């Protein structure tokens, strides 16, 4: 019996019931598929780390369905609320200071005094969160360090029957994880490039944002480990041409590409295709190694370069 379910009203109610009862549910967002649990149920959160094989020092993101809930969950100010109202729902995660000492969320926060929160721009995800009545903590629904899932089938291929229920919302529109910004100090710091371009945030704020890769040994946000999002085969990035025994993932007008993230050089299209095409390259390359064409570092290109840099780390 398949563990993939269509997002009907009955199935969404069942999924919400599962979340409340401490079970895991995989669900679509605009970025990638998430592996969700009730943030207040430490045993359920622990099972996320177990199923993924994820180290417990790597914090998770809590997903909410209303911007106003931020004030109940974390310390906010006018700047945070203005950013949230402008960019949420959407692929932007805020690192905020926790407002309570609720020990039940310690595991989700990896024991840190800060918490990662976002509001996904996907009707299935938002409906599930509202029906569950609790924030849903959810990293990507795949084995740790593997390529992130952008379809329900990807989740099933990676985690199998370890997830009782996978809600199928089709392919994710953005295709790379959310941008993460730390807004706990006067100077905002980008901790992970993602689906919201840093230029858009800077334009809205009228100020520059610092960029930090964080400490991979003590991550303060998801996605800071040196090796992450990795295909099974080795990957060479910034490949100006294809070498012998290589399978080339192209970008733009690359005649020798075996597959192409975006033949027209559209970064939005490339981001949406990135993880699916890395999986496809793994399947089609045979004994060859993988290579990827250079990607511009503007807009969504910053997020794409972050992912492929970590995917290629040896």
CB-side exposure of 158: number of CA atoms within 13 Å?
30
Nearest CA among 253, 241, 229 for reference residue 292: 241
Radius of gyration of the chain (CA): 19
Q: Please compute the mean of the pLDDT values over residues 55-59 and round it to a whole number.
A: 87
Nearest CA among 83, 47, 43 for reference residue 162: 47
**Nearest-angstrom CA–CA distance, 307 and 305:** 5
**Nearest-angstrom CA–CA distance, 28 and 128:** 10
**Nearest-angstrom CA–CA distance, 17 and 10:** 11
For Cα atoms 176, 92, 75, give the angle at the middle one, nearest 5 degrees.
145
pLDDT band at 145 (very low <50, low <70, confident <90, very high): confident
pLDDT at residue 221 is higher than 80: no
Q: Please compute the mean of the pLDDT values over residues 294-298 and round it to a whole number.
A: 95
**Is pLDDT larger for residue 167 or for residue 55?**
167
Q: Please compute the mean of the pLDDT values over residues 30-42 and round it to a whole number.
A: 97
**Is pLDDT larger for residue 215 or for residue 55?**
55
Mean pLDDT in the chain? 93
User: Can you say whether residue 80 is alpha, beta or left, with left for phi > 0 and alpha for psi between -120 and 50 degrees?
Assistant: alpha
Q: Among 21-35, 47-61, 243-257, which stretch is predicted with the lowest mean pLDDT?
A: 47-61
pLDDT at residue 193 is higher than 90: yes
For Cα atoms 180, 186, 189, give the angle at the middle one, nearest 5 degrees.
25
pLDDT at residue 217 is higher than 90: no
Tens digit of each residue's pLDDT (9 = 90 or more) over 230-260: 899 999 999 999 999 999 999 999 999 999 9
Check residue 14 and give its pLDDT.
98
Nearest CA among 213, 289, 306, 189 for reference residue 245: 289
Copy the structure tokens of residue 270: 């490339």
pLDDT band at 212 (very low <50, low <70, confident <90, very high): confident
Check residue 226 and give its pLDDT.
67
Check residue 84 and give its pLDDT.
97
pLDDT at residue 164 is higher than 90: yes
**Nearest-angstrom CA–CA distance, 92 and 94:** 7
Check residue 213 and give its pLDDT.
67
pLDDT band at 39 (very low <50, low <70, confident <90, very high): very high
All structural domains of the chain: 4-211 (3.90.870.10), 235-311 (3.40.50.11030)
Residue 236 φ/ψ, nearest 5 degrees: -105, 125
Q: Among 86-100, 218-232, 256-270, which stretch is predicted with the lowest mean pLDDT?
A: 218-232
Contact status, residue 98 vs residue 40, Cβ threshold 8 Å: no
Q: Please compute the mean of the pLDDT values over residues 111-140 and round it to a whole number.
A: 96
**Nearest-angstrom CA–CA distance, 230 and 236:** 12
Contact status, residue 152 vs residue 4, Cβ threshold 8 Å: yes
pLDDT band at 102 (very low <50, low <70, confident <90, very high): confident
Nearest CA among 172, 136, 155 for reference residue 23: 136
Burial class for 146, CB neighbours closer than 10 Å (0-12, 13-18, 19+): buried
Nearest CA among 215, 219, 90 for reference residue 144: 219
Tens digit of each residue's pLDDT (9 = 90 or more) over 17-26: 999 999 999 9
Q: Please compute the mean of the pLDDT values over residues 297-311 and round it to a whole number.
A: 94
């Amino acid at each position: 019996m398949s563990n993939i379910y269509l997002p009907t009203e009955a199935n969404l109610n069942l999924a919400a019931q599962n979340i409340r009862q401490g079970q895991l549910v995989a669900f679509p967002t605009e970025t990638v598929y998430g592996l969700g649990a009730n943030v207040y149920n430490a045993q359920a959160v622990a099972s996320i780390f177990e199923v993924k094989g994820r180290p417990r020092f790597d914090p998770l993101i809590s997903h909410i369905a209303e911007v106003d809930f931020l004030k109940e969950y974390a310390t906010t100010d006018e700047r945070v609320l203005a950013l949230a109202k402008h960019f949420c729902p959407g692929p932007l995660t805020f690192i905020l200071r926790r407002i309570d000492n609720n020990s039940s969320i310690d595991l989700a926060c990896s024991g840190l005094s800060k918490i990662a929160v976002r509001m996904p721009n996907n009707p299935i995800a938002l409906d599930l969160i509202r029906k569950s009545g609790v924030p849903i903590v959810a990293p990507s629904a795949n084995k740790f360090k593997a390529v992130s899932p952008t379809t329900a089938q990807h989740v099933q291929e990676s985690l199998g029957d370890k997830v009782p229920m996978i809600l199928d919302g089709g392919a994710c529109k953005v295709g790379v994880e959310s941008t993460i910004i730390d807004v706990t100090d006067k100077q905002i710091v980008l901790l992970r490039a993602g689906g919201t371009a840093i230029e858009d945030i800077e334009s809205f704020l009228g100020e520059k944002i610092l960029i930090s890769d964080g400490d991979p040994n003590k991550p303060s946000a998801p996605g800071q480990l040196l090796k992450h999002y990795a295909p099974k085969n080795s990957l060479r990035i910034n490949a100006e041409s294809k070498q012998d025994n290589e399978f080339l993932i192209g970008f733009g007008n690359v005649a020798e590409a075996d597959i192409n993230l975006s033949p027209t050089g559209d970064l939005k299209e490339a981001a949406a295709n990135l993880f699916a095409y890395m999986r496809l390259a793994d399947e089609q390359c045979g004994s060859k190694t993988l290579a990827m064409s250079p990607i511009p570092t503007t807009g969504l290109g910053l997020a794409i370069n972050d992912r492929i840099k970590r995917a290629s780390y040896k």
